[in-house]
Amino acid sequence: MSKTITVWGSPGSGKSMFCCILAKALTRDKRKAIIISGEPGIPMLPVWLPEQITTTAVSIGQVLTSVEIDTSQVASHVTVLKNYPYIGLMGYCAGENPLSYPETDYQMALQLISSAKKLVDYVILDCGSAMTNVFTPAAIESGDLVLRIVTPDLKGIVYLRFTRYCTISSFNTVTARSESFSPAPAMVKEIDRCATEGGMFQAIKYCNSKYTASLNKILEALEQMELAERQEEDAYEAGYEDGEYPEEEYEQAPDEEGGYEYGYREADSDE
Protein backbone atom coordinates (compact mmCIF):
# COMPACT_ATOMS: atom_id res chain seq x y z
CA MET A 1 0.00 0.00 0.00
CA SER A 2 1.23 3.48 -0.86
CA LYS A 3 2.70 5.55 1.95
CA THR A 4 2.60 9.31 2.50
CA ILE A 5 5.56 10.91 4.28
CA THR A 6 5.07 14.48 5.48
CA VAL A 7 8.19 16.60 6.04
CA TRP A 8 7.86 19.94 7.79
CA GLY A 9 9.65 22.04 10.37
CA SER A 10 11.43 25.29 11.10
CA PRO A 11 12.70 27.61 8.36
CA GLY A 12 16.13 26.80 6.95
CA SER A 13 16.30 23.35 8.50
CA GLY A 14 16.83 21.48 5.22
CA LYS A 15 13.33 20.09 4.66
CA SER A 16 13.45 20.19 0.86
CA MET A 17 16.96 18.74 0.75
CA PHE A 18 15.87 15.91 3.02
CA CYS A 19 12.88 15.18 0.76
CA CYS A 20 15.26 14.69 -2.17
CA ILE A 21 17.56 12.45 -0.13
CA LEU A 22 14.60 10.40 1.09
CA ALA A 23 13.19 10.05 -2.44
CA LYS A 24 16.49 8.69 -3.72
CA ALA A 25 16.68 6.20 -0.87
CA LEU A 26 13.11 4.99 -1.36
CA THR A 27 13.44 4.50 -5.13
CA ARG A 28 16.64 2.47 -5.15
CA ASP A 29 14.66 -0.72 -5.66
CA LYS A 30 12.67 0.85 -8.53
CA ARG A 31 9.68 1.80 -6.45
CA LYS A 32 8.14 5.13 -7.43
CA ALA A 33 7.91 8.36 -5.47
CA ILE A 34 6.48 11.83 -5.99
CA ILE A 35 7.77 14.87 -4.12
CA ILE A 36 5.06 17.51 -3.77
CA SER A 37 5.84 21.04 -2.67
CA GLY A 38 2.77 23.11 -1.85
CA GLU A 39 4.59 26.29 -0.83
CA PRO A 40 3.84 29.09 -3.36
CA GLY A 41 6.14 31.53 -1.59
CA ILE A 42 9.19 29.51 -2.68
CA PRO A 43 8.45 27.79 -6.02
CA MET A 44 10.43 24.54 -6.04
CA LEU A 45 10.27 23.49 -9.69
CA PRO A 46 13.00 25.95 -10.73
CA VAL A 47 15.08 24.77 -7.76
CA TRP A 48 14.73 21.12 -8.69
CA LEU A 49 15.06 21.87 -12.42
CA PRO A 50 17.32 24.92 -12.70
CA GLU A 51 18.23 24.26 -16.34
CA GLN A 52 14.68 23.78 -17.55
CA ILE A 53 12.01 26.40 -18.17
CA THR A 54 8.74 25.25 -16.64
CA THR A 55 5.49 26.96 -17.55
CA THR A 56 2.47 27.55 -15.38
CA ALA A 57 0.72 24.77 -17.32
CA VAL A 58 2.58 22.24 -15.15
CA SER A 59 2.16 24.15 -11.89
CA ILE A 60 0.56 22.50 -8.89
CA GLY A 61 -1.50 25.69 -8.60
CA GLN A 62 -3.43 24.64 -11.70
CA VAL A 63 -4.43 21.42 -9.93
CA LEU A 64 -5.27 22.90 -6.54
CA THR A 65 -7.58 25.50 -8.06
CA SER A 66 -9.42 23.14 -10.41
CA VAL A 67 -13.04 22.11 -9.91
CA GLU A 68 -12.21 18.51 -9.09
CA ILE A 69 -8.97 16.56 -8.76
CA ASP A 70 -8.43 13.02 -10.05
CA THR A 71 -5.43 10.80 -10.69
CA SER A 72 -5.16 11.61 -14.41
CA GLN A 73 -5.04 15.33 -13.70
CA VAL A 74 -2.39 14.89 -11.04
CA ALA A 75 -0.35 12.62 -13.29
CA SER A 76 -0.38 15.17 -16.11
CA HIS A 77 1.19 17.76 -13.79
CA VAL A 78 4.03 15.55 -12.56
CA THR A 79 7.49 16.00 -14.05
CA VAL A 80 9.79 12.98 -13.94
CA LEU A 81 13.53 13.47 -13.65
CA LYS A 82 15.34 11.97 -16.62
CA ASN A 83 18.29 10.74 -14.57
CA TYR A 84 16.04 9.52 -11.75
CA PRO A 85 13.07 8.05 -13.65
CA TYR A 86 11.34 6.75 -10.53
CA ILE A 87 11.08 10.21 -8.95
CA GLY A 88 8.32 12.63 -9.95
CA LEU A 89 8.02 16.29 -8.96
CA MET A 90 5.10 18.62 -8.36
CA GLY A 91 5.38 22.24 -7.31
CA TYR A 92 4.98 25.88 -8.27
CA CYS A 93 6.80 27.44 -11.21
CA ALA A 94 9.22 30.34 -11.39
CA GLY A 95 7.50 33.68 -11.08
CA GLU A 96 4.51 32.36 -9.15
CA ASN A 97 3.69 33.61 -5.68
CA PRO A 98 0.86 33.30 -3.11
CA LEU A 99 -1.22 35.79 -5.13
CA SER A 100 -0.94 33.89 -8.42
CA TYR A 101 -3.96 31.71 -7.65
CA PRO A 102 -7.12 31.90 -5.55
CA GLU A 103 -6.79 30.76 -1.97
CA THR A 104 -6.29 26.99 -1.78
CA ASP A 105 -9.16 25.02 -0.34
CA TYR A 106 -8.32 22.53 2.40
CA GLN A 107 -10.38 19.75 0.85
CA MET A 108 -8.70 20.26 -2.53
CA ALA A 109 -5.31 19.81 -0.89
CA LEU A 110 -6.55 16.54 0.61
CA GLN A 111 -7.85 15.43 -2.79
CA LEU A 112 -4.50 16.17 -4.41
CA ILE A 113 -2.62 14.08 -1.87
CA SER A 114 -5.13 11.25 -2.05
CA SER A 115 -4.96 11.16 -5.86
CA ALA A 116 -1.16 11.23 -5.90
CA LYS A 117 -1.11 8.33 -3.47
CA LYS A 118 -2.90 6.16 -6.03
CA LEU A 119 -0.14 6.70 -8.57
CA VAL A 120 3.06 5.74 -6.78
CA ASP A 121 4.51 3.80 -3.86
CA TYR A 122 5.54 6.89 -1.88
CA VAL A 123 4.25 10.45 -1.74
CA ILE A 124 6.69 12.83 -0.04
CA LEU A 125 5.11 16.12 1.04
CA ASP A 126 7.54 19.03 1.30
CA CYS A 127 5.74 21.49 3.55
CA GLY A 128 6.37 25.09 4.43
CA SER A 129 6.99 26.21 7.99
CA ALA A 130 3.83 28.32 8.30
CA MET A 131 0.57 26.63 9.18
CA THR A 132 -1.31 29.44 7.43
CA ASN A 133 -0.73 27.65 4.13
CA VAL A 134 -3.49 25.00 4.16
CA PHE A 135 -1.25 22.53 2.33
CA THR A 136 0.81 22.02 5.49
CA PRO A 137 -2.05 21.00 7.86
CA ALA A 138 -3.59 18.91 5.07
CA ALA A 139 -0.25 17.15 4.60
CA ILE A 140 0.05 16.50 8.32
CA GLU A 141 -3.45 15.04 8.39
CA SER A 142 -2.69 12.83 5.39
CA GLY A 143 0.75 11.63 6.46
CA ASP A 144 1.31 8.00 7.38
CA LEU A 145 4.64 9.15 8.78
CA VAL A 146 5.18 12.77 9.84
CA LEU A 147 8.74 14.06 10.20
CA ARG A 148 9.57 17.42 11.70
CA ILE A 149 13.00 18.86 10.97
CA VAL A 150 14.32 21.69 13.11
CA THR A 151 17.49 23.68 13.48
CA PRO A 152 19.29 23.05 16.80
CA ASP A 153 19.04 26.61 18.03
CA LEU A 154 16.61 28.56 20.19
CA LYS A 155 14.23 29.15 17.29
CA GLY A 156 14.23 25.47 16.46
CA ILE A 157 13.63 24.49 20.07
CA VAL A 158 10.69 26.88 20.36
CA TYR A 159 9.32 25.57 17.07
CA LEU A 160 9.72 22.00 18.27
CA ARG A 161 8.25 22.43 21.73
CA PHE A 162 4.99 20.70 22.61
CA THR A 163 4.85 18.76 19.34
CA ARG A 164 4.20 15.04 19.01
CA TYR A 165 5.98 14.40 15.71
CA CYS A 166 9.14 12.48 14.89
CA THR A 167 12.13 14.83 14.58
CA ILE A 168 15.49 14.73 12.90
CA SER A 169 18.08 17.45 12.96
CA SER A 170 19.21 19.64 10.12
CA PHE A 171 22.34 18.28 8.48
CA ASN A 172 23.85 21.72 7.98
CA THR A 173 24.37 22.46 11.67
CA VAL A 174 27.02 21.10 13.97
CA THR A 175 25.98 21.93 17.54
CA ALA A 176 26.14 19.30 20.24
CA ARG A 177 22.42 18.66 19.92
CA SER A 178 22.70 17.71 16.25
CA GLU A 179 26.26 16.44 16.02
CA SER A 180 25.20 12.83 15.48
CA PHE A 181 23.18 13.83 12.42
CA SER A 182 25.53 16.33 10.79
CA PRO A 183 28.14 15.80 8.09
CA ALA A 184 31.76 16.65 8.68
CA PRO A 185 32.35 20.42 8.47
CA ALA A 186 34.24 19.98 5.19
CA MET A 187 31.15 18.38 3.68
CA VAL A 188 28.83 21.25 4.54
CA LYS A 189 30.14 23.31 1.64
CA GLU A 190 29.52 20.43 -0.74
CA ILE A 191 25.93 20.10 0.50
CA ASP A 192 25.41 23.85 0.17
CA ARG A 193 26.74 23.63 -3.37
CA CYS A 194 24.21 20.91 -4.17
CA ALA A 195 21.43 23.22 -3.06
CA THR A 196 22.67 26.32 -4.85
CA GLU A 197 23.61 24.57 -8.12
CA GLY A 198 20.48 22.46 -8.54
CA GLY A 199 22.04 19.17 -7.43
CA MET A 200 19.83 18.44 -4.44
CA PHE A 201 19.49 14.77 -5.36
CA GLN A 202 23.26 14.32 -5.03
CA ALA A 203 23.52 15.61 -1.46
CA ILE A 204 23.29 12.15 0.08
CA LYS A 205 26.83 11.46 -1.13
CA TYR A 206 28.16 14.13 1.22
CA CYS A 207 26.31 13.13 4.40
CA ASN A 208 28.34 11.17 6.90
CA SER A 209 27.48 7.76 8.31
CA LYS A 210 25.72 9.19 11.36
CA TYR A 211 23.26 11.14 9.27
CA THR A 212 22.78 8.16 6.99
CA ALA A 213 22.04 6.06 10.07
CA SER A 214 19.27 8.47 11.08
CA LEU A 215 17.86 8.22 7.55
CA ASN A 216 17.93 4.43 7.83
CA LYS A 217 15.84 4.64 11.00
CA ILE A 218 13.12 6.35 9.00
CA LEU A 219 13.37 3.73 6.26
CA GLU A 220 13.09 1.03 8.91
CA ALA A 221 9.98 2.68 10.34
CA LEU A 222 8.38 2.59 6.91
CA GLU A 223 9.35 -1.06 6.48
CA GLN A 224 7.77 -1.90 9.83
CA MET A 225 4.55 -0.18 8.78
CA GLU A 226 4.47 -2.14 5.54
CA LEU A 227 5.23 -5.40 7.35
CA ALA A 228 2.40 -4.80 9.82
CA GLU A 229 -0.01 -4.17 6.96
CA ARG A 230 1.02 -7.36 5.17
CA GLN A 231 0.60 -9.38 8.35
CA GLU A 232 -2.85 -7.90 8.88
CA GLU A 233 -3.85 -8.72 5.30
CA ASP A 234 -2.50 -12.26 5.64
CA ALA A 235 -4.42 -12.76 8.88
CA TYR A 236 -7.62 -11.50 7.29
CA GLU A 237 -7.20 -13.76 4.26
CA ALA A 238 -6.49 -16.71 6.51
CA GLY A 239 -9.63 -15.98 8.51
CA TYR A 240 -11.66 -15.68 5.32
CA GLU A 241 -10.41 -19.04 4.05
CA ASP A 242 -11.31 -20.62 7.39
CA GLY A 243 -14.84 -19.23 7.13
CA GLU A 244 -14.48 -16.70 9.93
CA TYR A 245 -15.72 -13.85 7.73
CA PRO A 246 -18.95 -13.85 5.69
CA GLU A 247 -18.33 -13.74 1.98
CA GLU A 248 -20.24 -10.49 1.50
CA GLU A 249 -17.91 -8.72 3.94
CA TYR A 250 -14.85 -9.45 1.84
CA GLU A 251 -14.31 -7.47 -1.32
CA GLN A 252 -11.31 -7.69 -3.57
CA ALA A 253 -9.78 -4.25 -3.92
CA PRO A 254 -10.02 -3.04 -7.53
CA ASP A 255 -6.82 -2.68 -9.50
CA GLU A 256 -5.55 0.87 -9.49
CA GLU A 257 -4.47 2.27 -12.80
CA GLY A 258 -1.89 4.99 -12.92
CA GLY A 259 1.79 5.36 -12.23
CA TYR A 260 4.01 6.64 -14.95
CA GLU A 261 1.84 5.21 -17.73
CA TYR A 262 -0.09 8.48 -17.71
CA GLY A 263 2.67 10.09 -19.71
CA TYR A 264 4.52 12.22 -17.22
CA ARG A 265 6.94 14.63 -18.80
CA GLU A 266 10.60 13.84 -18.49
CA ALA A 267 12.96 16.53 -17.35
CA ASP A 268 16.70 16.75 -17.46
CA SER A 269 18.43 16.86 -14.10
CA ASP A 270 21.87 16.72 -12.63
CA GLU A 271 24.03 13.75 -13.48
Q: Which long-range contacts (CB under 8 A, 24 or more apart) does 201-209 make?
A: 201/20, 201/21, 201/23, 201/24, 201/81, 201/84, 201/87, 201/269, 201/270, 202/270, 203/17, 203/20, 203/21, 204/21, 204/24, 204/25, 207/21, 207/171, 207/183, 208/182, 208/183, 208/184
Q: How far apart are alpha carbons 230 and 235 in whole angstroms?
A: 9
Residue 23 predicted with pLDDT over 90: yes
If one counts every other C-beta atom within 10 angstroms of the C-beta of residue 73, the result is 16
Instruction: Look at residues 131, 133, 141, 132 and name the one whose alpha carbon lies nearest to residue 110.
Output: 141
List pLDDT tens digits, range 115-163: 999 999 999 999 988 888 899 999 999 999 988 888 777 887 777 775 5
Is-above-0.85 flag for pTM? Answer: no
Q: How far apart are alpha carbons 78 and 91 in whole angstroms?
A: 9
| More confident of the two residues 190 and 29 | 29
Lowest mean per-residue pLDDT among 14-18, 39-43, 247-251: 247-251
| More confident of the two residues 5 and 254 | 5
List pLDDT tens digits, range 29-68: 999 999 999 999 889 998 888 877 777 889 999 999 998 9
